[in-house]
Structure 1
Amino acid sequence: MNLLVDLGNSRLKWAWSDESGLRAGEPVDHSRPLDVELAAAWADAPHVTRALVASVARPRLEAELAQAIRARLRVEPEFVASRAEACGVRVAYARPEKLGVDRFLALIALYAQAREPVVLASVGTALVLDALAADGRHLGGLIAPSPMLMQEALLGATARVSASSSARVVEAADDTEDAVRSGCWLAAAALVERFHSGCAQAFGAPSALALAGGAARELAPLVRVPARIEPDLVLRGLAVLAGETP
């Protein structure tokens, strides 16, 4: 049995993985002590032979996670890094290690699922776009603030602009709260549409659009392109990578 861990900016997601597939556990919020949360989550852990970790979090959290894995599961964690090529995916970056490992693994998961041209839009702390050709070539991507981060930046830089949790997303707002929320979310949707359209020329064919991340379901109805939501791409990519590397 393998343990797969996606240590993100705000949450830790994890799963057990073997030949029968993934069994995801409940995500863990960073605001709570990792050792306490993982002790409860892994109380009935099976025998684990490998623990693969993808992390974009701070070194302190990585150290806490590594200690928890050693203490609870008696294995040494393997922190995965992006590289030039793996599992049929070839990274566009001249320095592959500069590509976020979450992006790298998400591309591996998509390529393993289907050999098709696809644009991935991941909406979390940031809005991250990547293009993947049917032959596994990564064509590059973009990084922008997520709609939530756009709104936080706007509110932090202006004295008389306000927000509301009940604000709507509309095409033309008639109050400030709706205008702020609508502007941020529709800006993100427009960027996804533009990137997807531009990639059609690079691919030489229409491409699929996959949405991932915690805000994918909120963004999906705002994008005027057929899209599918892909959950747990980082964990799925780790499972593919685990099957290729002994």
Structure 2
Amino acid sequence: MLLALDVGNTNTVFALIDGGEPVAQWRASTSSQWTADEYAVWLSQMLSIDGTFKLTDLTDCIISTVVPQSLFNLRNFARRYCGGEPMIVDEKSVPGIEVRIDRPSEVGADRLVNAVGAHVKYGGPLVVVDSGTATNFDVVGEDGAFLGGIIAPGINLSMQALHTAAARLPRIAIERPPKVIGTTTVGAMQAGVFWGYVDLIEGLLARIREEFGAPMKVVATGGISSLYKDAAKTIDYFDPDLTIRGLTEIARRIRSA
């Protein structure tokens, strides 16, 4: 059984893949301090709670990480508990995708994985909007090539900046406000953060489409995407499993290469 690890700046997703399909998934806070054995203990506990699988069922591992400091311990974890050397996603290790940007080595593993996962299911050309710590807009060509994109601050960063930089502004929850014009401080902040984020997405998508010059599908993913699902009208598909699908496809390609 394949273990797919998607290591983001904020959270790490652990997904079990059996026969090419995800069968279980868990999320933990990302920590570059966890040892290989701590990963094993945590995952064993999750497997025990689920009751369907065991750590000894793992035979292979693929890792996508944007936190380089975590890779050493994750490699050791995979070697000890997942059957051997893991597959590591980078611009040189993903078969079947051409990275057409000025410096291919700079593209994050998460962006390549999303490009593969989106193109496999939806075809191209398309834009992947991945909402996390940052909000990535990744452009994928008709042939599946990675063409570049935009990196913008995520909604949590905007909220944190408001609270940190302005002494009288409180920390607020992320939610859609009942109206645009806030009549309280919290309501005004929620309107600014929520609708500002939605308009950032729709405005940048409009500019991408204008510059690209051809019809494009738009796929949204990431932990925050459900927040604006009913508000961002320019998004065609919401796909929370996009990254895991991309990792599964990349693992399949590497095995068969």
Q: TM-score, normalised by structure 2?
A: 0.83
**AA of the residue aligned to 1:145:** P
Q: Distance in 2 between matches of 1:238 and 1:85?
A: 10
Name the counterpart of 1:198. Answer: 207
Partner of 2:19: 19
1:28 is matched with 28
Cα offsets for 1:42-83 (capped at 9, x unmatched): 561354443111011251x33332333233233122222124
Alpha-carbon offset, residue 126 of structure 1? 1.0
SS at match of 1:245: helix
Match status 1:161 vs 2:164: no
Going from structure 1 to structure 2, the CA distance change for 1:168 and 1:226 (only over 3 Å counts) comes to closer
Kept in 1: contact 2:160–2:171 (CA 8 A): no
Greater displacement, 205-214 / 16-25? 16-25
Give the conservation status (yes or no) of the 8 Å contact 1:167–1:177: no
Query: Structure 1, residues 89-139: CA drift from partner, whole Å, max 9, x if none?
Result: 332322212111001110011111122322211111111111222222333
Cα deviation code 1:189-231 (max 9, x no counterpart): 1121122212323443332221111110002223132432112
- What residue is the counterpart of 1:238 in the other structure? 247
Is contact 1:122–1:129 with CA below 8 Å preserved after alignment? yes
1:20, distance to aligned residue in structure 2 (A)? 4.4
1:9 corresponds to: 9
Say whether 1:104 aligns with 2:112.
Answer: yes
Offset of residue 168 of structure 1: 4.8
Corresponding position of 1:218? 227
SS at match of 1:177: helix
Matches within 5 A, 1:1-246: 1-30=1-30, 33-41=38-46, 44-45=54-55, 47-59=57-69, 61-83=70-92, 86-87=95-96, 89-165=97-173, 168-169=176-177, 170-246=179-255
Q: 1:215 to 1:72 in 2, by over 3 A?
A: same
Check the 8 A contact 1:86/1:108 in 2, yes or no: no
Equivalent residues of 1:83, 1:91 under 8 A apart: no
Query: Unaligned regions of 5+ residues in structure 2, if any?
Result: 49-53
Distance 2:214 2:85 in 1: 44
Judge which range, 205-214 or 103-112, deviates more: 205-214
Greater shift, 160-169 or 224-233, is seen at 160-169
Q: How many residues align?
A: 244
Whole-angstrom distance in 2 between the partners of 1:168 and 1:126? 19
Deviation per CA, 1:10-38: give whole Å up to 9, x if none. 22212233434222322233478534212
On the 8 A contact 1:210/1:227 being kept in 2, the answer is yes
Structure 1 regions of 5+ residues with no counterpart?
Answer: none
**Could you tell me which amino acid in structure 1 is paired with residue 160 of structure 2?**
E
CA distance in 1, matches of 2:229, 2:148: 22
Whether the 8 Å contact between 2:116 and 2:249 is mirrored in structure 1 is yes
